[in-house]
Amino acid sequence: MVSINIYDLIMQMINFGLLYLLVGVFLAKPLGKFLEDRRNTIKSDLEHSRLKLQEAETMLSDQAKHLSEAKNEARELKKRMGEAAEKEKEALLVQARTEAQQLVTDAKKEIEQSVEKARVDLQKQTAKLAIDLSSRLIKKNIDPQLNEQLITETLDKR
């Protein structure tokens, strides 16, 4: 048989009530405060993390935008440099062609001058040789009387 002792039951209830009261006063309030503080700290940390994440995403977006702009600027700079190099190449080619043409023109003039000078020198030498040859032939073929006659005729013609 089961016997229930009322005294023990009342004592257990009093002990339980005292334990509940002691736990509530000394443990529940500080534990509740600790748990509330911990919840607030976690909530605050989560909010702070969310803000930092948004900030990081914004910075990432900005960096991606800057990178894209830098790439575009680099492409544009490369394009401009290529165009400038092409223009410089064209200018150098034009200058080289002009200088080559000038060299050819100068060479032609120099050749023409050399040919003309050679022609004049040749004519002078030919004339000198002709005179020299004529002089020798005349000296051999003309006697002093014929020479006198030719001189007289020449002077009379003038």
Residue 76 has what DSSP assignment?
H
Helices (H), the chain: 6-22, 29-141, 144-157
Query: Is 70 exceeded by the pLDDT of residue 142?
Result: no
Contact assessment for residue 139 and residue 147, using Cβ atoms and an 8 Å cutoff? no
Q: How far apart are CA 103 and CA 99, in angstroms?
A: 6
pLDDT at position 131 is 75
Alpha carbon 69 to its chain's center: 17
pLDDT in tens, 42-86: 999 999 999 999 999 999 999 999 999 999 999 999 999 999 999
pLDDT in tens, 19-52: 988 888 888 778 888 899 999 999 999 999 999 9
Domain ranges for the chain, please list them. 38-157
Residue 1 has what DSSP assignment?
-
pLDDT in tens, 91-126: 999 999 999 999 999 999 999 999 999 988 888 887
pTM for the model: 0.43
Q: Report, as an integer, the average pLDDT of 129-146.
A: 70
pLDDT at position 14 is 97
Q: How far apart are CA 139 and CA 147, in angstroms?
A: 9
Q: Report, as an integer, the average pLDDT of 132-146.
A: 69
Contact assessment for residue 150 and residue 142, using Cβ atoms and an 8 Å cutoff? yes
